[in-house]
Amino acid sequence: MSHDTIIVAIDHGLATLTLNAPDKLNAVSRKMIAELKECWETLAADPAVRAVLLTGAGRGFCAGADLSDPDRDRSVAADSGSALDKFFNPVIRLMRSVPKPVVAAVNGPAAGVGMSFALAADIAIAGKSANFLQAFARIGLLPDGGSTWFLPRLVGEQRARALAMLAPRISAEQAKEWGLIWDVVEDGALLTTATEVARRLADGPTLALARIKEAMNRASGNQLSQQLDLERDFQRELGRSEDFREGVSAFLAKRKPVFKGK
Amino acid sequence: MRRDGMARVATRGAVVPVWRIMEKTPVIAALEGGVLTLMLNRPQRLNAMSNALIEAMNHELARARDDADIRCVLLTGLGRGFCAGADLSGGGTVDASANASPDLGAGMDRLFNPMIRAMRDLPKPIVGAINGVAAGGGANLALACDIVLAARSSRFDQAFVRISLIPDLGGTWFLPHTVGDARARGLAMLGKSVPAAEAERMGMIWQVVDDDALMAEATKLARQLAGGPTLSYAAIKKAINAAATNTLDQQLDLERDSQRELGRSADFKEGVAAFLAKRPAAFSGH
């Protein structure tokens, strides 16, 4: 994969995607989102990739849609829905549906759809100096990239409404305290920590991780009774996997398991 | 739209203290700078909700919906309390003593539930300034606001279980959707009174404010929202209302449709132009 705006590195099952427009705090141009979508499609289809780490180059994680992008349609009839349909929404859907864990290393400001990218990750870890901003209402829009769905589920109805309407900037510490993200670490330790977490997941029981992801996705719409059935079905399936056999025998032998993702 | 016994103290500009009207008006309404302030006005009963009070609320909420000059609603209570819930004594919505098996559902259908629905469906933000105790239905009236600021001395009390009822006015929905399932069950079953600071920590409300700063802070916030991109706020409310039962997949489509519509609004053009010129945006609400 060769891209101008994204650096892709694959190392023993762990794919790292680095948004690479550091001079613009990785604001998302038409070109970047098209390339990002291509990357996600490729990684989703590649069975050798067992976990994905998403981060940004330079000082920022992602500043949201690039409003100064020369490719942006400025006409009166401009359709801001079509870019969502063609690019942004498919990326969010892929991040949530890809049967492998996604880790975000939020290395700086995550604004607008950049914040949605962070929230769409299964596990988001932020550097202390990172911050989060639902900037949309500041320009007369509503949060997109799934944020109107992520926010109430992560921080509850009250905070979701206030974050969307008042568009305050939220520190990484506050984000952790509220449960918007998983963890905060020192800036200098961010990439190491996030890579360790992503590495552990890439070496983990991929089928189980995929089913955890799927079960959590479904939980928000399911009744408990439906969810119990779903857990039964997934557990039945996982109970027949190689990784389950390996996990149990390693547990009994008191040694570390070696999972293959099968 | 005006009806007898509901004369309002001010329709435009400064509030005129007409005491005789104020005594009879269960909700004082004043419109200024795009903000419709609704003040519950039964201070001697900690603003417990009588039929007349809820009727007045419903009337004002309909006005807020229809009047384009209203771009934000600020809800608060007069006196020491915000709202002590349904008035269980004379003149209230419930007459438990007179009838061995009153139909509580009828009042909910006719008065309370339409009020909560109107608040959530109002295409404009509602700020709650919780000035004192919010108990029973009063607590859930507070939680129905989009953004709740509460005075440090106020508290939220799901008192229902103490009289063998369940939280109503949306309480059984608001609680799990703000503080999570475990806390929701605890609060509803134990009927525990939650001080404002703890309510903020739990995410039940947006912010706790010192008592003497509450009205200034809440008014500032309401003014800010009244000067904001109203269509955007309406879309946010609708989207978050829908999010609770939508799948992510459905929600992404909803965001696309809303964004498409907002992308053609005057306020979006103004917002982008202001952003690029690094100046504050002047939103018109269109």
- Structural domain contains residue A260: no
Q: Quick check: B7 pLDDT over 80?
A: no
Same domain, A125 and A236: no
Rounded CA separation B158/B136 (Å): 5
As a whole number, mean pLDDT of residues B246-250 equals 96
Same domain, A108 and A163: yes
Rounded CA separation A129/A58 (Å): 13
Rounded CA separation B39/B26 (Å): 8
Q: What type of residue sits at position B28?
A: I
Same domain, A244 and A168: no
Structure-block tokens of residue B47: 């603003």
Using a 10 angstrom Cβ sphere, with 0-12 exposed, 13-18 middle and 19 or more buried, the burial of residue B158 is buried
Across the interface, which of A78, A93, A155 has its CB nearest the CB of B252?
Answer: A93
Domains of chain B: 19-226 (3.90.226.10), 230-276 (1.10.12.10)
Same domain, A169 and A246: no
- Structural domain contains residue A1: no
Same domain, A210 and A114: no
Same domain, A87 and A20: yes
B60: phi then psi, degrees, rounded to nearest 5 = -70, -35
Domain boundary among A182, A202, A222: A202
Rounded CA separation B57/B64 (Å): 10
The minimum CA-CA distance between B3 and chain A, rounded to whole Å, is 34
B203–A93 CB contact, under 8 Å = no
Domain that holds residue A246: 206-252
Same domain, A121 and A233: no
- Structural domain contains residue A241: yes
* Each residue's pLDDT tens digit, B95-145: 556 566 788 899 899 999 999 999 999 999 999 999 999 999 999 999 999
Structure-block tokens of residue B35: 């903000």
Minimum mean pLDDT among A7-21, A68-82, A87-101, A231-245: which range? A68-82
Structure-block tokens of residue A99: 């049967």
Q: Quick check: A227 pLDDT over 50?
A: yes
Query: CB neighbours (10 Å) of residue A237?
Result: 13
> For position A238, which CATH number holds?
1.10.12
- Structural domain contains residue A261: no
Same domain, A43 and A163: yes
What ipTM was estimated for this complex?
0.90
Across the interface, which of B143, B255, B271 has its CB nearest the CB of A142?
Answer: B255
**Interchain CB contact of A115 with B (< 8 Å):** no
Same domain, A57 and A158: yes
Query: What does the DSSP 8-state code read for residue B155?
Result: E
| Nearest residue to B252 (alpha-carbon basis) of A217, A236, A241 | A217
* Each residue's pLDDT tens digit, B193-237: 999 999 999 999 999 999 999 999 999 999 999 999 999 999 999
The minimum CA-CA distance between A79 and chain B, rounded to whole Å, is 6
Same domain, A178 and A90: yes
Q: Which long-range contacts (CB under 8 A, 24 or more apart) does B60-64 make?
A: B60/B27, B60/B29, B60/B36, B61/B115, B61/B118, B61/B119, B61/B122, B62/B118, B63/B1, B63/B29, B63/B36, B64/B36, B64/B122, B64/B124
How many Cα neighbours within 13 Å face the side chain of B44? 5
Sheet-wide strand order for B126-130: B27-32, B35-40, B72-77, B126-130, B147-151, B207-209
- Structural domain contains residue A257: no
* Each residue's pLDDT tens digit, B22-70: 667 999 999 999 999 999 999 999 999 999 999 999 999 999 999 999 9
> For position A139, which CATH number holds?
3.90.226.10
Same domain, A77 and A175: yes
List all residues of chain A from 4 to 33 with a beta carbon under 8 Å from chain B: none
- Structural domain contains residue A47: yes
CB A13 within 8 A of CB A28: no
Q: Which long-range contacts (CB under 8 A, 24 or more apart) does A70-74 make?
A: A71/A29, A71/A30, A71/A31, A72/A30
**Interchain CB contact of A73 with B (< 8 Å):** no
Query: CB neighbours (10 Å) of residue A68?
Result: 11
Same domain, A198 and A210: no
Rounded CA separation A93/A184 (Å): 26
State the total domains in chain A. Answer: 2
